[in-house]
Structure formats: C-alpha cells, structure tokens
Amino acid sequence: MNDIDIIPLFNQDASIWDDFLSVRCASIHGAYNQKLTLDECKTALKDLESAWRRRKHNFAYAAYQNADMVGFVQGDCMAGVATIRGLYVRPEFRKSGIGHKLLKNAERTARFGASSMDLISMLGAMNFYKKCGYTALRLNGTELNHFAKDVPDFPHCTTVPLFCATAQVKNACSKIARDNNMAFDTADINTLHMPAYAYLDATGDIQAYGINDNVLVGAHQPAAYIAKQMHRVFQDFNTKLAKTR
C-alpha cells in the first residue's frame, strides 16, 4: 500500500465528516455484515460532530488513496488521557498496516496532552489493539473491550502536528516567539485550525514551530537546519493534501 498517504486533519469541515461516516459505515458493515439505515447514518454523523465541537483538544488523521479516504482515527485529550473515539479502515484495506500507522500517529499527538491512551474496541478488533501494546481492562475477572496504554516514547529530533495549543505548547511557542521578537497567538491553532507543526529536540522539548509554513526557531538552535526540516514537512503535507482534492 505504497500509494496510501496519511495526513493530519487540522480543520474538519463538512466534507471530512461525510468521509468519516462513509468509512465508518463501510468498516462496520465489513466487520459485522450490518448496514446502517439512512436515519442511523444521520444520527451517527450528528453525534460525531456534536461531540467534536464540545471538546477542546481534538486530533484526527486520515488515510487517503489519492482523493479517497480509506481510513481515519479521531479522538481527544482530556484530564491527561487521550481517548481514541474512532479508528476505522475500509474492509478492502484491512491488514495492510493502515490502522497501525493511524494509531501510531494518534499516539504521537497525545504527547502534548496526555500520559495514557484509552479506547473502546469493536469486538473484532480486540486482537489488533493487543498487538499494538494495549491492555484490556477487566471486570470481575472478565476481559472487556475497553483498552488502555501509556503514551509511548517516540523518536526525538522530529516534527509533530499541533492540533491544540495546550499549556505546554503555549509556553514553549511563546518563548520561541519572544526569541524572534514576535508573539504567539493561540487562536491560529485553537480557533482557526491552521496547519501547524512543532520541532522537538533530542530531549523531547519544543525548539521550533511553524504555522502555515511560517517557521520560528528558538535561540541558540541550528536555525537553518531546523527551518529546512520544517519547511520540508510543510511541503510534504501540502503535496499530500493537494492529492485529496
């Protein structure tokens, strides 16, 4: 599946939610041979959007084959826990590694808002989550389809999408902005949902950030090298995004 692109969804508009619902319905039908009625689809879409609007620290990634969404993961961080609200892949793309890649991206995003992961699994996907390092919770000795996992470490000296300006992100980016005699506006990320990335150094600290390819690097950092890496990330994101339209 080398033709599959996985990209962060910084702004979830109406067409994205329609794609989410289409993938979700196809996945449920493939897993349980159960078709949702039109009313059930509309209710599910309304519930998904409503829940998303109520939460502040949301994240989402989608897997695309050109302009066709074939899978997605969506969730949020609250009270130190990153909850996966949905991870679905179209039946014809299962066992291709897409679900694993989507989940790994979600785990990296949780780095800035949570210390643990939490999710409710479809019964047919329980072994998948176990293979990904999740532990099933138990009630009176009975294994549940409720899974948890500590947020894993990931390679440093890398870039991570910013879906929300958490306190950690705000403090780090504000300092970087001051180093450049500028100001960091949380609304660019939290309200306008502009494409944004942070650069992490070898210790996992944010040393640079970029919004809409406008990159700022903190003082005493290899600015030219970091800026080049971040511009390359934005270029890759924009190239992949263009293929979905």
- Condensed to tens digits (0 to 9), the pLDDT of residues 38-70 reads 777 777 777 777 777 766 788 999 999 999 999
Q: DSSP letter at 123? A: G
Report how far residue 10's alpha carbon sits from residue 2's, in angstroms, rounded to the nearest whole number.
23
Read off the pTM: 0.91
Contact criterion met (CB below 8 Å) for 159 and 229: yes
Helix/strand/coil percent split, the chain, to 5? 40, 30, 30
Average pLDDT of the residues of the chain: 89
Phi and psi at 15, nearest 5°, equal -65, -35
Contact criterion met (CB below 8 Å) for 200 and 158: yes
- Condensed to tens digits (0 to 9), the pLDDT of residues 142-201 reads 999 999 999 988 777 889 999 999 888 999 999 999 999 999 999 999 988 999 999 999
15: its two tokens: 């067409």
Distance of CA 96 to the CA centre of its chain: 19
Helix (H) or strand (E) holding 113: none
